[in-house]
Structure 1
Amino acid sequence: MTTAGTAPAKDPQRRAAWAELATDYVHEHGLIGLSLRPLAAELGTSNRVLLYHFGTKDQLVADVLRTSNERSVAEVAALAPSEDLRSAVYDLWTVMEGDRCSRIYVEAAALGLFGREPYATAVQDANTLWIAGLIAHLTKSGVDPVVAERAAHVIDAAFMGFQLSLGPDGSLPERRSVDDLADAVAALA
């Protein structure tokens, strides 16, 4: 119940549902240049309703980044254990190659790089969750935990670089890059 002059309590479940739908929209249309009016129209609501639930466009984007990252981490968690460290690179790349979640991350990371909030914090949180997901997959695959942590950071850095090299069709122009990464990471063991 509300009293005069107070707004009703925001619904966290509704906000999470909007974040899921907004994430789907951003996966299709991209993050850079996102406008609330077309997003709201696509979701069958108004930009005012979105702002009510998220507070600001930046906070909505931070929630989209978080939702998108959680989807990628869930894909990694769903992978069967890899045969060895070298094959883990290929298995993990199957999740990343052409993955819209990682493309959104790259766009948000560009904004966060300059310290712009909430992007800087959302990207840092996403990094922490993502690295933990990589380490979990590697250890599930029988990799020593110390090696898994080192390998996860190398894999992550290379994959981010690969994302910047993807062609318009989402494929890596130099497939040999993944082979070279797999060789380098396998040498860590």
Structure 2
Amino acid sequence: MARTADPVKREELLNGVVGYLERHGIGEMSLAPMAEALGTSKRMLLYYFGDRAELLAQALDASRPQLGEMFARVTTADEFVDAARTLWRELSRGGERRNVRLLLQVLSLAVTDPQTYGEAARDAVDVMIAPIAEALSVIGYPADSACARATLVVSGLRGLCQDGLVTADRPRVDAAAELLIAASVA
């Protein structure tokens, strides 16, 4: 009889995988060195996560900001702006800042290697757009406009995160984020 996977061990490994990928990147992701660094085996990583692509997808999912929570109670444009500012602070200064690097790597790799990274990258974008578009719908934007505005917020803030990581010009990037957030509900 097959053993049942230990959910606590799986969660510990997933947290370790996220940390490892944040430190080492994903471009040359190899399971053997990752497993060694995590104090486990390649076999156990495959047991818990299936394959490399699924491991990456689950690591991205685990490292993603909880936008549903940030935008769940939005009923006005002012509340939307506050939620978007919270998102920006989390992405640029808070606990999500490390995760942005991982997301940016996946998105970049998806451009040159869509077979390997395309699905994970598309999912990462879609999962972020959906709750923001829903909040914009709640405050009165038609579905098409809400989706386009959510795309502006997600892609714009992501681009500003990259700019901030590259240039370290926080005042300029923060000012641009404020303009972007205001434009999304203008």
Please state which band the TM-score falls in when normalised by the shorter chain: 0.7 to 0.9
One-letter amino acid matched to 2:43: R
Look up the match of 2:126.
128
**In 2 relative to 1, CA 51–186 (structure 1 residues): closer, same or farther, beyond 3 Å?**
same
Look up the match of 2:55.
60
Residue segments in structure 1 that go unaligned for 5+ positions in a row: 2-7
Q: 1:150 aligns with which of 143, 148, 151?
A: 148
Contact 1:155 1:185 in 2 (8 A): yes
Identity %, equivalent residues: 24
Contact 1:31 1:108 in 2 (8 A): yes
Q: 1:77 aligns with which of 61, 69, 74?
A: 69
Residue segments in structure 2 that go unaligned for 5+ positions in a row: none
What is the aligned length? 176
Q: Which has the larger radius of gyration?
A: 1
Secondary structure at the aligned position of 2:62 is classed as: helix
Structure with more of its chain in helix, by fraction: 2
Secondary structure at the aligned position of 1:167 is classed as: helix
**In 2 relative to 1, CA 177–125 (structure 1 residues): closer, same or farther, beyond 3 Å?**
same
Q: 2:25 aligns with which of 27, 30, 37?
A: 30
Look up the match of 2:44.
49
CA distance in 2, matches of 1:143, 1:177: 27
CA distance in 1, matches of 2:134, 2:168: 25
Contact 1:62 1:118 in 2 (8 A): no
After superposition, the C-alpha distances for 1:57-86 in whole angstroms (9 at most, x for unaligned) are 3332222122222xx1x2661477584444
CA distance in 1, matches of 2:35, 2:59: 14
Look up the match of 1:5.
none
CA distance in 2, matches of 1:20, 1:184: 32
One-letter amino acid matched to 2:104: V
CA distance in 1, matches of 2:4, 2:113: 28
Secondary structure at the aligned position of 1:32 is classed as: coil
One-letter amino acid matched to 1:77: E
CA distance in 2, matches of 1:179, 1:49: 46
Instruction: Please report how far the alpha carbon of residue 174 of structure 1 lies from its aligned counterpart in structure 2 after TM superposition.
Output: 4.5
Look up the match of 1:11.
5
One-letter amino acid matched to 2:63: S
One-letter amino acid matched to 2:121: V
Look up the match of 2:91.
96
CA distance in 2, matches of 1:48, 1:119: 22
Contact 1:10 1:53 in 2 (8 A): no
CA distance in 2, matches of 1:177, 1:163: 8
More deviation, 60-69/9-18: 9-18
Q: 1:105 aligns with which of 103, 106, 111?
A: 103
After superposition, the C-alpha distances for 1:113-153 in whole angstroms (9 at most, x for unaligned) are 234334211111121111123334556xx733436433321
Using the size of structure 1 for normalisation, the TM-score is 0.72
Contact 1:112 1:119 in 2 (8 A): yes
